[in-house]
Amino acid sequence: MHELFFHTLRTKAGFNDQDLEVIRTHLTPKKLRKKQYLLQEGDPCKYVTFVEKGLLRAYSIDEKGSEYIIQFALEGWLISDLYSFLTGEPATYTIDAVEDSELTLISRNAHEELLRALPKYETWIRMEITAAYLALQRRLTAVISLTLEERYEGFTSLYPDIVQRVPQWMIASYMGLTPETLSRVRKKITERK
């Protein structure tokens, strides 16, 4: 367990075997079945989660019951309700498994201990948070400046694995569209080509 996580730490942040042994003692493996919850809105987020295998999504549900997907997480990606994780306040997102998944969990206490014990861990976390912020900024820019067709083509270009692995209604939810609108967008793109 944790092979992809350790590979990522070695290649992205230069962790050595001794560092990884320290980290290993702070990790919790977890398996989720498809549709099983990792976190439910209103509960405190106790973990940062690394996806070893599978696919997760984070989403919120409005008062009318409409679902809005905020993030997907494939193999090698982190997912969490970061605000809840850092503050201890109730989560605003629900996270569940889109596919059967194998995960590596880092609890808040383990996270704090690793920050103190390993400077490379702090560097790696900073790199991951920066990458997440940049992705969020890119997504916001796309929402305010691109057409629906350009946004969809950008999404499919950036994340072809997600497009192959999730139903179209989830992509519509991520884009803030109804499935019918996404279908019209896809039809326009096909007709244009």
- Residue boundaries of the structural domains of the chain: 3-118
CA distance linking residue 19 with residue 105, whole number of Å: 17
Find where tokens 């999730």 sit.
166
CA nearest to 80, candidates 116, 104, 112, 109: 104
40 pLDDT band, cuts 50/70/90, is very high
Question: Is the dihedral angle over the CA atoms 11, 15, 18, 20 positive or is it negative?
Answer: negative
Token pair of 101, please?
């998944």
pLDDT of residue 193: 74
Q: What is the pLDDT of residue 192?
A: 83
* Bridge partner residues of 31 (DSSP): 102
Residue 56 has pLDDT above 80, yes or no: yes
Tokens of 1: 């367990």
Q: Say if residue 100's pLDDT is above 90.
A: yes
Q: Which of 151, 153, 154, 183 is closest to 167 using CA atoms?
A: 183
What angle is formed at CA 37 by the lines to CA 26 and CA 105, rounded to 5 degrees? 10
For the entire predicted model, the pTM comes to 0.93
CATH (residue range 3-118) = 2.60.120.10
